[in-house]
A and B are shown apart, each in its own frame.
Chain A
């Protein structure tokens, strides 16, 4: 997995979504972080924009873990798949 993604996701969850740092673990679901359905989609849209990747927000649910979200982003950042970084 692209090792830039997880730390950035943690920062984003803390800064924009105001999730307490001690709640954020790789195996925590977005629901555990108290993100509701709108917030989950907003997270995906934010990641799409930041990483300039076609992340599919129709697949976004509160059951996904932080690590799974990070893996989805990283997969799209693989060489030849997508462009920029924040």
Chain B
């Protein structure tokens, strides 16, 4: 067990709304955000529903330079820094790290510019193509905006990317390479290419006639996820650093685990072996035992395989009695890809800080594969959460588990 890391700020840009409070309200209300997407419909994508971030009116600040994924990140980061009461004008820039996870980088830009290349030739390409789509550039642009000159890097573990960024940031803090880490995840993958590719794999819900019920984590009739987009950012510092600033943490990152399944390119290990191993490491790092876990913010994608494997792993770890409460935000927000791990980490922090566990939207009934877990359903549940885990799984067999405790 090592010193926990303080979470002193969070910021969110999600389909539930711009800002932490808007997102938290949508998730706690179980208000699904999926709808027919005009971009996917116009492109003739095989699945045309998605969860979009609502438009940000009047947003300025050189937005023309950035892919939407970077724009989401910059907005979320500004909120996270405000929550943490950190002012880039005041801090020591060389002691601030920026770590950002993404699954796809600026794929919106890449696709748009590729269409221009095919239609009009290379002369039509924007000179901003590379700065907007390279997978490292969200972190690079955020560091530039903040004037942060400590370590700046991007992590990519598919849909675990945002959680991997949080772990990486904690490692940088513990290694003494920075005093503050702005860590998050961002993606904007509601594009014709991505939607079509996921549809080709059979990963997306086909419930186009009823988008609001399409994302239904752990539900008997789940048939795939709904593509989402957004960004989540956490401000991390050593507890002593936060204390010296007289800032009270929202929660503590007490432990974390990361494993690889080495099983299949896209399917999780059938019994969740990697997830269970990551959980064991997170709990060992926190100096806790499974019976102390009060709540799990599940990966819960609403795909047949993920939810069955995750429920199996939870049953085997905690039994089928009074185990931890379990929820998935993806019933409301869809699957925000590389942002999901950071967004859900922030929601887990809020559950710890506020004593409220959001419901799993879209859930009506379990099947045999997802039964036996204490899924929060229908309405938010008041619960004093002393120790909560956030699960993230990604194509490639990546598993990350973050363990948060009350400050």
Contact = CB atoms under 8 A, between A and B. Distances in A.
A41 B127 contact: yes
A10 to B, nearest CB: 16
A51 interface: no
Interface residues of B, number: 13
B60 interface: yes
Contact of B64 (A18, A48, A49): A18
B60 A18 contact: yes
A48 B124 contact: yes
- The size bracket of the interface on A is 10 to 19
Contacts of B127: 38, 41-42, 45, 57
A45 B125 contact: yes
Most buried by B among A41, A45, A48: A45
B1 interface: no
Contacts of B176: none
Contacts, number: 27
B131 A48 contact: no
Contacts of B131: 38
Interface in A33-86: 38-39, 41-42, 45, 48-49, 54, 57
Contacts of B64: 16-18, 42
A77 to B, nearest CB: 18
A38 B126 CA distance: 9
Interface of B: 60-65, 123-128, 131
26 contacts: A16-B64, A17-B64, A18-B60, A18-B61, A18-B62, A18-B63, A18-B64, A38-B65, A38-B127, A38-B128, A38-B131, A39-B65, A41-B127, A42-B64, A42-B126, A42-B127, A42-B128, A45-B124, A45-B125, A45-B126, A45-B127, A48-B123, A48-B124, A49-B124, A57-B123, A57-B127
- 7 closest Cβ contacts across the A-B interface? A41-B127, A38-B127, A16-B64, A18-B60, A45-B126, A42-B127, A42-B128
